[in-house]
Amino acid sequence: MSALALNPQQIAEYHREGFVIARKMFTTEEANLILRTAETDEAMQKSAYIRSDTTGSQTRMTVWSDPGDDIFGMFSRSERIVDSMESLIGDEVYHYNSKLNAKEPFEGGAWEWHQDYGYWYNNGCLFPMMASCLMALDPCTVENGCLQVLRRSHLVGRVDHVQSGKQVSADPARVEHLVKQLETVQCVMEPGDVIFFHCNMLHTSARNDSPKRRWVLISCYNAKSNDPVIKHHHPQYNPLKKVPDSAILEVGMRPSAANKKFLDKPYNPLEYVAK
């Protein structure tokens, strides 16, 4: 078990609240290495696509399933992340997908309230034995559209998701009631901070109306025992090879390989029907 993984108190907080923020889980040097690589990685930039919100504001995303041997894979495969995920989910985990989410100054779009499992259920993942972690690469503030979570909303179970403009969101009528009863938490974070959140955690983010950009790196994990029953754009169980926590600094600014496969277009989670 990595000495940098979540401790028992943080794991208990996650199960109670649906999320936990691990401050300074990665050093400023590690976060900056990943950020500088993302800024200069041509393959990643060419594979980016745009997601628009209901006002037309846009967020740039790059999504991939194979963690790979680049610096982004060193994050997703690092012992501190994988050990934490296995403690939270209670099973061996594998990498489900990762994404770079970029909100540019004055134009980065909002995300409607949603649950990740609201999407992944339709991919054939039968149980909510899944979780995500998000690391801040830039300071994430209220002004530039930081992640917001609805505290303890993971306890409501899966909420039906519907088409909402160009996005797929949790049923607005149900969300309207939940936001009145539960606390909305603005997840203000510094580079290197990591938030872990349950796949049924309702979350959202506002558009970026500030002069500061907001880039984040997100990795998502599924339990080995929760192998999807539908073939789709993310992988079935594939053993994940952990790397030492030192790997990010050892690899340095290694960009994605030329043969790394990125999701080539936005997908609609409602196109898959669980059977």
Assign residue 125 the CATH number of its domain: 2.60.120.620
pTM over 0.85: yes
- CA 265 remoteness from chain centre: 18
pLDDT digits (tens, 9 = 90+) for 149-170: 999 999 999 999 988 767 888 9
Q: What is the pLDDT of residue 258?
A: 67
Q: Exposed e or buried b for every residue in 245-255, given b needs 16+ CB within 10 A?
A: bebbeebeebb
Within 10 A of 160 (CB to CB), how many other CB atoms are there? 10
Q: What is the pLDDT of residue 40?
A: 94
Give the mean pLDDT of the chain: 92
pLDDT digits (tens, 9 = 90+) for 182-239: 999 999 999 999 999 999 999 999 999 999 999 999 999 999 999 999 988 888 999 9
The answer to the question of residue 18 being in a domain is yes
Higher-pLDDT residue of 49, 82 = 82
d(CA 266, CA 50) in angstroms, rounded, equals: 8
The answer to the question of residue 202 being in a domain is yes
The answer to the question of residue 246 being in a domain is no
- CA 220 remoteness from chain centre: 6
The answer to the question of residue 265 being in a domain is no
Phi and psi (nearest 5°) for 75? -65, -55
The answer to the question of residue 19 being in a domain is yes
**How many independent structural domains does the chain possess?**
1
The whole domain housing 104 covers 8-232
The answer to the question of residue 117 being in a domain is yes
Q: What is the pLDDT of residue 273?
A: 47
The answer to the question of residue 251 being in a domain is no
Confidence of residue 81 (pLDDT cuts 50, 70, 90): very high
The answer to the question of residue 195 being in a domain is yes
Cα 265–Cα 115–Cα 5 angle in degrees, nearest 5: 95
d(CA 55, CA 164) in angstroms, rounded, equals: 12
